[in-house]
Amino acid sequence: MARIVVLGSGFAGNTAALNLKKALGRKHEVIVVSPRKNFSYIPSWIWVGVGSMKPEKTQFDLTPVYKKFGIEFKNGAAEEIHPDSVDQYVVVKYADGKTERVKYDYLINATGPKLNFAATPGLGPDEGYSDSVCSLPHAVKTRDNFLKAVEKMKQGKRQKFVVGTGHGTATCQGAAFEYIHNLEFEIAKRGLRDMADITWISNEPMLGDFGVGGVVVRRNGNFISGKLFAESTFREKGIKWIDRAHVRNVKEGSLDYVNIEGKEGTLDFDFAMLIPPFAGIPISYIDKDGNDIKSQLCAPSGFMKVDADYTSGAKPFEEWKNSDWPKKYNNPLYKNIFAAGIAFAPPHPISKAFKAPDGTLIAPSPPRTGMASGIIGHTVALSIIDMIKNGAEEPTYSASMAEFGAICITSMGKSMIGGSAALLTMYPVIPNYDKYKFGRNLNYTFGDIGLAGHWVKYMLHYLFIWKMKGKFLWQYIPD
């Protein structure tokens, strides 16, 4: 009997656990370790943050799901991994302070990110002066602060809104882009648009880059760049923008920034929603002699090293290759340990990295959430299934972001009648300029914007919650 331990219950972890148990049945154990009892549909937190969706609609309790599937659930946090012991194990700490050793034959790290607000002084809703939609409690607090600003506008008090990234290496520009459009939509819907000044600030090298090196799409026989698309939506709605910027600090009512040319500036605000940089969840890695070996298994960011070329990050942008990116997602030192979703360390950014004259790094981190997380989690599960059932010594399934595509649906206002969303497909996620003129296959890279896009995004909210609950025919819903 094999025992597979999955750390994390998000898109990557839950997808892996359900597929493992479905294929392996009662003969083998699948154990999920997570400090959270709920699965959260993170893409809809931008709607929670403007008050257009109730928080409870984005979550459900995982306990009955795992009970139905026969998956053991341990509601605690992984604190240590001991990969060198005779019986390899994870130390799990529970809310009451008790700990437990959980043995494994195969381990999947799908813990997701730590929200690294501390990287920018004054960033974040807990100890700083900005809001966030990167956790449900934060999204609820953001909603409350947004609605307070709305009330002030109703009283005739002009409000300044700033939305974007709060650090030069932050990721998830897409979520911030969705949020600023939904914020503008909700303000305009209330007839208060003339009372609001809205500004976008981002570490992207250009608007519409989104941390994926930008994109060119085919639409109605024409080629349109992501830069042109993003700029046109901002101009249409009167949103100002600052790109190529690193936020140095956030103070009460203002932030300071520097861009890649070294230009410094200050933005005043009444409300700011800024995405933080991500780091790996703090877990210790201990060898058989009690030594800390985290530096051997993880990148300095804390994310786990997998089968990527980590020497490539020191090379110039022009020498980065698609082959730098991982395919199998297991650790080079411990073949039975995998990292899925945002928990794996990327070899380098996708977008070109820049440094300000003072050395400040301004480089969007690669997005690895949502669809990519599900695909990778499923692929890792398939490899482990093959290793258990057929005795494969190495992972046999692959899913490189340089070889698979993704669908992105960017909400620009939630309403079944007046809403809108941009629907974009890109293939592959990592652009390949050696193979394709614009980096991607334009037969599979296209986009459109309109009310139908909103309907699709709204439908996917419920479709993926259905899938993550493991309901009837869940396995046929694409990752």
Rounded CA separation 393/198 (Å)? 55
Give the pairing of strands 284-285 and 77-82: parallel
Task: State the chain's mean pLDDT as an integer.
Answer: 96
Q: What SS3 class is residue 370?
A: coil
Q: 289 pLDDT exceeds 80?
A: yes
Please count the other Cβ atoms lying within 10 Å of the Cβ belonging to residue 311.
10
* CB hemisphere CA count around 265 (13 angstroms): 13
Q: Of 143, 47, 133, nearest to 461 (Cα)?
A: 47
Residues 424-434 have pLDDT tens digits of 899 999 999 99
pLDDT at 314: 94
What is the band of 217 on the pLDDT scale with cuts at 50, 70, 90? confident
pLDDT > 90? residue 223: no
Residue 222 clears pLDDT 80, i.e. is over it: no
Extended strands (E) in 221-364 = 222-225, 240-242, 245-251, 254-259, 264-268, 271-275, 278-280, 284-285, 337-339, 354-355, 361-362
Say yes or no to pLDDT of 85 above 90.
no
Closest by CA to 164, choosing from 239, 227, 215, is: 239
Rg of the chain on CA atoms, in Å: 22
Tokens of 220: 């109605």
Q: For 165-176, what is each residue's pLDDT tens digit?
A: 999 999 999 999
Q: Quick check: 412 and 456 in contact, CB under 8 A?
A: no
- DSSP secondary structure letter of residue 397: -
Please give the average per-residue pLDDT across 27-38, as a whole number. Answer: 97
**Quick one: average pLDDT of 94-120?**
97
Cα separation, 123 vs 129, in Å, equals 6
How many H-runs (helices) and E-runs (strands) does the chain carry? 9, 27
Tokens for 188? 């305009």
Task: Write out the H or E segment, with its range, that includes residue 242.
Answer: strand 240-242
What pLDDT score was predicted for residue 277?
97
Question: pTM of the full predicted structure?
Answer: 0.97
Burial 362-398 (b: 16+ CB within 10 A, else e): bbbbbbbbbbbbbbbbbbbbbbbbbbbeeeeeebebe
Q: Which domains are assigned to the chain?
A: 3-36+75-112+281-356+365-390 (3.50.50.60), 117-277+405-476 (3.50.50.100)
Distance CA 175, CA 276 (A): 12
Q: Give me the residues paired with residue 77 across strands.
A: 93
Predicted confidence (pLDDT) at residue 224 exceeds the cutoff of 90: no
Closest CA to 175 of 4, 42, 296: 42
342 burial (CB, 10 Å; 0-12 / 13-18 / 19+) is buried
The token duo for 33 is 């370790």
The yes-or-no verdict on residue 479 having pLDDT over 80 is yes
The arithmetic mean of pLDDT across residues 116-136, rounded, is 97
Which single residue is written with the structure tokens 């890792």?
A: 380
- pLDDT at res. 330: 97
Helix residue spans in 238-329 (DSSP H) = 294-297
User: Residue 221 above 80 pLDDT?
Assistant: no
| CA–CA dist 313, 316 (Å, integer) | 8
